[in-house]
């Protein structure tokens, strides 16, 4: 089976322009294998990871928008 996630819910890391995924900060494969016999919990786990990534992405984008607006005001 391909290791790529079906749903790509990543964001761009401002430091390295690399994709960020909360699943990279846990033993995702082990957790997923442990939950294979519990499909409801596995689905909730996947949704939770997606929600965390989306929330971080939205926060990052909002922070960058505010920074850009502030920079434009300083140029005037």
pTM: 0.63
Residues 60 and 26: their CA atoms lie apart, in Å, by 21
Taking all residues of the chain, what is their mean pLDDT, rounded to a whole number? 79
Q: How much is the pLDDT for 15?
A: 47
Across 9-15, average pLDDT: 42
Using pLDDT thresholds of 50, 70 and 90, give the confidence band for residue 8: very low
Distance in angstroms between the alpha carbons of the first and the last residue of the chain? 55
Closest CA to 28 of 9, 11, 12: 9
Q: How much is the pLDDT for 18?
A: 58
């Amino acid at each position: 089976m391909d290791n790529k996630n079906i749903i790509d819910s990543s964001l761009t890391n401002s430091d390295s322009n690399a994709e960020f995924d909360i699943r990279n900060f846990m033993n995702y494969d082990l957790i997923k294998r442990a939950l294979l016999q519990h499909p409801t919990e596995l689905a909730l786990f996947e949704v939770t990871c997606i929600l965390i990534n989306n929330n971080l992405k939205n926060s990052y984008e909002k922070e960058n928008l505010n920074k850009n607006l502030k920079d434009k005001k300083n140029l005037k």
